[in-house]
């Protein structure tokens, strides 16, 4: 699985103009399931992100994790993270998991993250979503498991 993790002061996702998910201080996590990904990989990705020390401590060092600071997360499906841009001008997405599998793994990831403690809200798989955020730092990290 792939994820693009952004430390945010706030983020929200809208579908048809209506807010369907949001977070205050915490993380915006864009997630993509790849072909042959498993639920074990979704759980490992959730654990890694929840424990990743990317929040500032009292000394201003990135020493605290989402779990340490009591933050929340907004998880949004993003199949375009599977983009293959090595040739031509049009990205290919053939390495992304099929939609049924991708949705199941996306949901499993969000549930696994929530089971670790943080409040988790989600986007709507397959929908045309508008995501807005205020990136804190900015801190943006690519993870692949």
Catalytic residues: 78-80
- CA dist., res. 28 & res. 10, Å (int): 8
SS3 51: helix
DSSP letters along 108-135, please?
Answer: HHHHHHHHTSS-EEE--TTS-EEEEEEE
- Is the C-alpha dihedral spanning 45, 100, 122, 118 positive or negative? negative
């Amino acid at each position: 699985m792939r994820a693009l993790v952004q430390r945010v002061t706030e983020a929200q996702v809208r579908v048809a103009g209506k807010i369907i998910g949001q977070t205050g201080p915490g993380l915006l996590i864009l997630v993509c399931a790849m072909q042959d990904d498993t639920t074990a990989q979704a759980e490992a990705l959730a654990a890694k992100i929840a424990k990743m020390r990317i929040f500032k401590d009292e000394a201003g060092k990135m020493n605290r994790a989402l779990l340490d600071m009591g933050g929340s997360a907004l998880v949004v499906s993003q199949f375009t993270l599977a983009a293959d841009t090595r040739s031509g001008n049009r990205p290919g997405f053939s390495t992304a998991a099929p939609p049924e599998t991708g949705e199941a793994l996306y949901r499993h990831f969000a549930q696994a993250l929530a089971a670790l403690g943080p409040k988790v809200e989600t986007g709507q798989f397959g929908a045309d979503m508008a995501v807005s955020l205020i990136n804190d730092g900015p801190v943006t990290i690519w993870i692949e498991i």
